[in-house]
Structure 1
Amino acid sequence: MRDPPAPNPAAVRVSAPDAADACDLPSDLHLARQAVRDEAAFEMLVRRHAAGVHRLAAGMVGPGAADDVVQEVFIAVHRGLKGFRGEAAFSTWLHRIALNACHKAIRGKGPPTVSLGDAPEPAAPHNPVHAGEQADLRARLAAALQTLPADQREAVSLRELSGLDYAEIAAITGAELGTVKSRINRGRAALRAYLTGQGITP
């Protein structure tokens, strides 16, 4: 039996599973083991995690480059599934790959730039004024993250954008738990100062 074909990068969509079905979904570990041979299981993993990876990438490299990073991440995940033994949580393994992809993008393209044109469109832009305000806020938040030192931006993004707890972040980054907490606290303080200077109340 041949390995399933690698995923088409253009087919990686940033979406999430229906909340009503969440209780019936198989675990990440179960899907990861199935996905070695079953493309449908891999697609389920993509649907489950693509939105979170996109949020992380947007915070790390800027919204304009986030789609490319998401594609790279899931191509790498697909290639690496045979070697995933489940010794760490799938989410931890996935976020390590995502951080590596973000760092690669930063090295390859230099400091990311953020403009209003890069900001993702709101889901339901019925009110043009509100839509413009939301796009402006997203762009300012993305710009604020880019002002942080790399280690703080990484920790804050994993905490605030990916919703990971401190222990998970420590496992992903290889930093001590106290170091992770310190980086997040310093990063949050710097973000508050930056946003306040921009006339935004955090």
Structure 2
Amino acid sequence: MNSLPDEQLVPLAAHPGEQREAAFELLVRRHSPRLHRLASGMVGPGSADDVLQEVWMSVYRNLSGFRAEALFTTWLHRVTLNACHKALAARASLPLDEVPEPTSRHSPARAGEQADLRARLAWALSRLPPEQRDAVTLRELGGLDYAEIAGVLGVELGTVKSRISRGRAALRGLLSAVGVTP
């Protein structure tokens, strides 16, 4: 079953049967790393696990309604973006000086610096307009190409390029203002 493409796994995972659980588990293992990077970039590393759990619960509940009008990965990224937006709306925005410091006591200094940088990046991303944040996050953290992003967001290719360009410029400004050299 490991060698089956998504196009064959999704129907197996969508409908009751003896292969449903195994097919769904394979989809989870196959796509979770990329989705986790995407969620971490949007909501921060501390909330990404919760978002990912919400994504997979939603996918499990709604997979039978997937119409395959787009690629499964396109639909999956849209579900992830929606879960990230829900998580961002649910929590109060924190000013930068209230971003929690890394809590690991046994991490070396470098790991602490990287955790701080990730937290500052998550803060800066949260300050972007949603359409720019989505496009930048799908490109830089999700690894999608421009055409895939256009499919996920339901916009034209030129719009994707514009949003990414503006989002990157805004991120540079936000990060520079807090002492991070992008």
TM-score range, shorter chain: 0.7 to 0.9
Structure 2: which 5+ runs fail to align?
A: none
Distance 1:181 1:111 in 2: 28
The match for 2:139 is 159
Distance 1:128 1:95 in 2: 34
Distance 1:197 1:48 in 2: 38
Distance 1:80 1:112 in 2: 33
Distance 1:51 1:88 in 2: 21
Change (3 A) 1:176 1:47: same
| TM alignment of 1:49-198, pairs within 5 A | 49-111=31-93, 114-117=99-102, 128-198=108-178
The count of aligned residue pairs is 173
The match for 1:29 is 7
Residues 92-101 or 34-43, more deviating: 34-43
Distance 2:138 2:9 in 1: 23
Aligned AA (1:64): G
Distance 1:108 1:141 in 2: 20
Distance 1:81 1:188 in 2: 34
Give TM-score scaled by structure 2 length.
0.85
Change (3 A) 1:110 1:197: closer
Q: Which runs of 4+ in 1 moved over 6 A?
A: none
Distance 2:90 2:113 in 1: 31
Alpha-carbon deviation of 1:112? 6.2
Give TM-score scaled by structure 1 length.
0.77
Structure 1: which 5+ runs fail to align?
A: 1-23
Distance 1:146 1:72 in 2: 19
Aligned AA (2:43): V
The match for 1:21 is none
Aligned AA (1:33): P
Alpha-carbon deviation of 1:30? 1.5
| Cα-to-partner distance string for 1:111-154 (whole Å, 9 max, x where unaligned) | 36742348xx7xxx8x6122112111211211121121111111
Percent pairwise identity = 61
Distance 1:73 1:105 in 2: 11
Change (3 A) 1:67 1:35: same
Indicate if the aligned counterparts of 1:112 and 1:146 stay in contact, CA closer than 8 A.
no
Indicate if the aligned counterparts of 1:62 and 1:112 stay in contact, CA closer than 8 A.
no
| Cα-to-partner distance string for 1:140-197 (whole Å, 9 max, x where unaligned) | 2111211211111111111111011111111111222211111100111111222223
Residues 27-36 or 109-118, more deviating: 109-118
Distance 2:158 2:32 in 1: 29
The match for 2:26 is 44
